[in-house]
Structure 1
Amino acid sequence: MKTKQKESLPKPDWLRIKLTTGGNYAELKDMMRSKTLHTVCEEARCPNIYECWANRTATFMILGDICTRACRFCAVTTGMPTELDLEEPERVADAAEQMGLKHCVITSVARDDLADGGAMIFAETIKAVRKRMPLCSVEVLIPDFLGNMDALQTVMDANPDILNHNIETVERLSDRVRAKAKYSRSMELLKRAKEMKPEIPTKSSIMLGVGEEWDEILQAMDDLRAHDVNILTLGQYLQPSPTHLAIDRYVHPDEFAQLKVEGLKRGFSHVESAPLVRSSYHAHEQVKSATEATATM
């Protein structure tokens, strides 16, 4: 007997996305294809792709476009990757240089097929961007490496300007929403990252609208702050397709505004909280506040 799909909720007015596909958008798309590069903007169907690409900002997705996990919220293709591209770091650096980036965000699919989860490629990409663009800050959004702390050390030793790892949701819903990832493992990774390099700001993200309660969101904030996480982003979950996790509710912008106040009250140096916010949205604006906060520790 088939499980009945939850009836789709009508999309509220505040989730209208401004479509901007001017010259910069087309230029970036052509460049990514010519260098055989992937962006999480495209693969995860980010609602801000038009705004960000029009402003010449993008989040590079390394280690291919096939993820070894099948998280119920994510649109990235799931399967078994077939290769490891050792030349990818240089191509990312070349693209970042052509874009004239001041802040470069690098993320990846989960590569559980690799012993280090792809940590070495993360480190080499950080180094390649720095070599080309010494004044460009570099943020990495990493998977949990299945708890491999040696892999985390490899990334931290490359000295990213911001280390980002998303918990995605509250503890109660973590196993239902994510594949293989564990709430406690994510917290441990963020804790160990700060222990390895206290001067490097850490960051995480929570998507709302998957069934979480208000008190659970606040508890997740407290858990992150207990490990000195500096930056928090909160956004509305949007269902990529009918086969993905159903939306439980659309969270009103006023509630996002209240959560921003709660986050700042708890000591986060920067909180981005609005329906269309994603982990890397306005990432360039977060560097200064996070750096200043860690400098006063």
Structure 2
Amino acid sequence: MTAKPDWLRVKAPQRERVGAVQSILRDLSLNTVCEEASCPNIGECFKAGTATFLIMGPACTRACPYCDIDFEKHPQPLDPTEPTRLAEAVRRLGLRHVVITSVNRDDLPEGGATQFACCIAQVRALMPETTIEVLIPDFCGSEDALSIVIAAGPEVINHNTETVPRLYRRVRPQGDYQRTLRLLERVRRSAPHLYTKSGIMVGLGESEAEVLETMADLRAVHCDILTIGQYLQPTPKHLKVESFVPPETFERWRLAGEQMGFLQVVSSPLTRSSYHAEQVQALMRSHPRTPKIGTL
């Protein structure tokens, strides 16, 4: 693998705090995307007492060549106790904002949407002041599955675009660019009080013009929040890094995104979908939205 430039080097995590978070996760038998996807920010986030919970896993039914999460054709049945255990972890960690994501579960009729809804309900019951963000799969385009998640009432629905349209077949072979845009558009249309979010990886061979075009597509479906980060090759068997994008380019994209009308753009080499996700609370205060009767 190509050597990383200096701007991608991170400090060693504080072992005591990381160990404390890991102890809670192990005690409650929970997975995090921080660990399963080899996130470079795990030390910073665990030190701050935050984690992005990975439900319905750890094995995924899709084998995306950029992702470090294990592929499994025959994943385990859903655990009905998982939502309760997740809510307890939120309580023990004292989280003010929680991110819940999942592996793809294309083997399930509704893609696991009901498990998302159960997790949201349990967190609401135990930690009513905690804001909830869900990073969801595309549910193979199922509107019914998406409606289940919307009805559960998270504050933020995130679905990652991942890359530019030209690279979809290579980077996200079981995904569909237009399906991603339709999902975000459906959330905005059916629940305009919710905040929508998406993320892009760069360094996979895209041009700067293609990144800007993808950003414009996301704004066209009224996406509120955008994250842009550098792709890092997890192992030699994964897609290679085509380029390391310098910090000044990420800053240009951040400014361009703000000019396009995104409410928040988090753009840096180490940015990931859930990096500093708790900042959405400030966004909600500055851009409040009131649920309309009948939307939930």
Query: Which interval holds the TM-score relative to the shorter structure?
Result: over 0.9
Work out the percentage of aligned pairs sharing the same amino acid.
48
Contiguous gaps of at least 5 residues in structure 1: 1-7
CA drift of 1:21 comes to: 2.9
| Residues 123-167 of structure 1: per-residue CA shift (max 9 Å, x gap) | 010110011011000000000000001000000001101000000
Give the distance between the partners of 2:139 and 2:239, measured in 1 at CA: 24
Residue by residue over 1:59-95, the C-alpha shift from the partner in whole angstroms, topping out at 9 and shown as x without a partner, is: 0000020000000110000012021111100000000
Please, what TM-score do these two structures have when normalized by structure 1?
0.95
Residues 201 and 294 in structure 1, CA contact (< 8 A), matched pair in contact too: no
Q: Does 1:124 pair with 2:118? A: yes
Matches within 5 A, 1:19-98: 19-79=12-72, 80-98=74-92
In structure 2, the partner of 1:155 is 149
Which AA in structure 1 matches 2:235? S
Q: Give structure 2 stretches of 5+ with no counterpart.
A: 292-296
Match of 1:216 among 201, 210, 229: 210
Is the Cα–Cα contact under 8 Å of residues 198 and 227 in structure 2 kept in the other structure? yes
Note the C-alpha offset of 1:296.
9.3
C-alpha displacement of 1:291: 5.6
4+ residue runs of structure 1 moved beyond 4 angstroms?
none
Which shifted more, 82-91 or 100-109? Answer: 82-91
SS of residue in 2 equivalent to 1:30: helix
- Between the aligned partners of 1:224 and 1:105, the Cα distance in structure 2 is 21
Cα offset for 1:292?
Answer: 3.5
Q: Give the deviation of 1:10 after TM superposition.
A: 2.3
- Among 112, 126, 133, the residue aligned to 2:127: 133
The one-letter amino acid of 2:166's match is R
Say which SS state the counterpart of residue 232 (structure 2) adopts: coil
The match for 2:94 among 93, 96, 100 is 100
1:265 is aligned to 2:259 = yes
Who is 2:138 aligned against? 144
Structure 1 counterpart of 2:168, one-letter code: S
Give the 3-state SS of the residue equivalent to 1:206 in structure 2.
strand
| Residues 1:196 and 2:165 are matched in the alignment | no
In the alignment of these two chains, the number of paired residues is 290
Q: What TM-score do you get using the length of structure 2 for normalisation?
A: 0.96
SS of alignment partner, residue 20 of structure 2: helix
- Provide the aligned C-alpha RMSD in A: 1.3
